[in-house]
């Protein structure tokens, strides 16, 4: 999956799934720009790993809900690398509570980061890719955007919105030779997941048919494929990466 001379932006690229995606895109030859909110040290570590692979990395501290920050990131990326070919939207948060205990702030924060943030970056990339008549967009959603999840009405709504955004945008951009897809992980063994009580992790394992929890590498492998020309005839799809957890 040769991505030489390609440039990618990954939101939320300092940790977990986003960091692994950034590194794997670089492994295939892409220069990478990542944004992050507060993990300066981790962002620098990702950049070092990318540079050790012989690629360039731009790290930008940016709020994904800010159009101004997003426009600045796009400009810096194009100035540094000469263009943009790939967008991976990954930044997200969760504030889990049953709805009768959920505040409006809990709702608004999750929707703003997880859905508005995707809108902002998808819009910017769409405008750029439309003019150059090529580009790849991959949005990270969740199986909980497909099935819903107890205690996650805000998160599930945001992830379901990403799925609808992806499908609608694929229809708008298809005639410009732009692929727009989403991947929907189940439980993934990230630093956040490691803090979950063992009994809840085991419940996720029991839901799968493969009997294991995904690694961030499992997610990155599929994202890199969707960013390559091997996936040139795939658009508007939501690919579950969940070990059969959804079924």
* Annotated catalytic residue 155: yes
- Beta-carbon contacts of residue 113 (< 8 Å; ≥ 6 apart): 64, 65, 91, 92, 93, 158
Q: In which element (H, E) is residue 108 found?
A: helix 104-111
Q: Which residues of 135-172 are buried (b: 16+ CB within 10 A; e: fewer)?
A: bbbbbbbbbbbbeebeebbbbbbbbbbbbebbbebbee
Where does 69-143 show beta strands of DSSP type E?
86-89, 135-140
Phi, psi of 239, rounded to the nearest 5 degrees: -100, 115
- Quote the CA–CA distance of 84 and 156 in Å, as a whole number: 30
Name the nearest CA neighbour of 206 among 191, 190, 227, 186. 186
Looking at the DSSP bridge assignments, the partners of residue 89 are 139
Strand pairing class (57-61; 31-36)? parallel
The 3-class secondary structure across 20-52, one letter per residue, is HHHHHHHHCCCEEEEEECCCHHHHHHHHHHHHH
Among residues 36, 118, 121, 155, the one annotated as catalytic is 155
Cα 32 → chain centroid: 14
Catalytic residues: 155
């Amino acid at each position: 999956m040769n991505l030489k001379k390609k440039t990618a932006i990954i939101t939320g690229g300092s940790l977990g799934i986003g960091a692994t995606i950034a590194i794997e895109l670089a492994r295939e030859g892409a220069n990478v720009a990542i944004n992050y909110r507060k993990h300066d040290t981790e962002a620098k570590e990702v950049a070092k790993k990318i540079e050790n692979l012989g690629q360039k990395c731009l790290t930008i501290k940016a709020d994904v809900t800010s159009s101004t920050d997003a426009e600045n990131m796009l400009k810096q990326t194009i100035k540094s690398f000469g263009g943009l070919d790939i967008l991976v939207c990954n930044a997200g948060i969760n504030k889990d509570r049953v709805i009768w205990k959920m505040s409006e702030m809990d709702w608004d924060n999750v929707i703003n980061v997880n859905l508005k943030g995707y809108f902002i970056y998808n819009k910017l990339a769409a405008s750029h890719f439309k003019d150059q008549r090529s580009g790849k967009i991959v949005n990270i959603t969740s199986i909980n955007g497909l099935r819903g999840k107890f205690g996650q009405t805000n998160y599930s709504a945001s992830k379901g919105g990403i799925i609808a955004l992806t499908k609608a945008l694929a229809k708008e951009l298809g005639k410009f030779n732009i692929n727009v897809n989403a991947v929907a992980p189940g439980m993934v063994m990230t630093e956040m997941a490691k803090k979950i009580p063992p009994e809840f992790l085991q419940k996720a394992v029991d839901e799968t048919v493969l009997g294991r929890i995904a690694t961030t590498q499992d997610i990155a492998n599929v994202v890199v494929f969707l960013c390559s020309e091997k996936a040139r005839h795939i658009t508007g799809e939501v690919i579950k990466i969940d070990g059969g957890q959804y079924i």
